[in-house]
Structure 1
């Protein structure tokens, strides 16, 4: 468990909370819950209703859709935030790859935080945009690999 001071220092380095006022971060840090998960534990599954975002304190998680890995997240990374904004079911599953500690922020806490400090919404939007760009890059890479495999295996060669 992190002390209040350690928690403040930690969240100050998380991308979505950077550049926010310390007095606000102190309040936010004290409202977050800290959870521990064993290795190979499913934190949530694709299709479930989501009410919290998670921030990895230590350890690592794998974001996946079935057997297809979408991303790996380690200390300081945020996951699960999409469901807080669109009230849609989780778009992917998240499973720990090692013992993992996380901070959580629920939907009501996030809405209160955004009302008090709208910069959080901008920071989360930036993080989501980066993630979409990374996934688009993966999709383009997979498509290129498929085209190359089809060309190599084509009967016209």
Structure 2
């Protein structure tokens, strides 16, 4: 299932990370987001590694692990990767797809460029990340 432009924008608008953004700012974020399909069993993020992307699960499931322990299961509408991307700190957990996953992905270089070019979005995102940490 591919999202049409309005659905992608609405999904991004629903995320706490972008809750304070204006419709125009959300549209800027949506413009750099790509849809991808990932197979079951694929490691989507690795604990203690550098964060290179922000991922929103559209369909599917993934387990969040720290060490050998599963600490959460992500489903449709859940996301990960924002803290490492914004703070530059290593990933705090690993994420492994437990089913085929359809996701929205924002690559780190594009996200950082957007935050540099749009200081209002940067401030809002940093506030939201600070509330999550």
Q: Take 1:68 and 1:56, find their aligned partners in 2: how far apart are those partners?
A: 21
Residue 119 of structure 1, aligned match among 113, 118, 124 = 124
Separation in 1, partners of 2:89, 2:15: 25
Extract unaligned runs of 5+ from structure 1: 130-157
1:94 Cα shift? Answer: 0.6
Q: Is the 8 A contact 2:55 2:106 kept in 1?
A: yes
**1:86-107 Cα distance to aligned partner (Å, 9 max, x none):** 4343232110122211112233
Which residue of 2 is the match for residue 53 of structure 1?
54
Shift of 1:120: 1.8
- 2:21 is aligned to 20
Instruction: Tell me the TM-score normalised to structure 1 length.
Output: 0.71
Task: Write the deviation string for residues 87-145 of structure 1: whole angstroms up to 9, x where unpaired.
Answer: 3432321101222111122334333236232212212222x23xxxxxxxxxxxxxxxx
The equivalent of 1:155 in structure 2 is none
Q: State how 1:6-155 maps to structure 2 within 5 Å.
A: 6-111=7-112, 112-113=114-115, 115-117=119-121, 118-126=123-131, 128-129=132-133
Structure of higher CA gyration radius: 1
CA distance in 2, matches of 1:26, 1:124: 20
Greater relative contact order: 1 or 2 (C-alpha under 8 angstroms, separation 6 or more)? 2
Gap runs ≥5 in structure 2? none
Q: RMSD of the alignment, in Å? A: 1.9
Residues 32 and 111 in structure 2, CA contact (< 8 A), matched pair in contact too: no
Query: Counting strand residues as a fraction of each chain, which structure ranks higher?
Result: 2
Task: Count how many residue pairs are aligned between Structure 1 and Structure 2.
Answer: 128
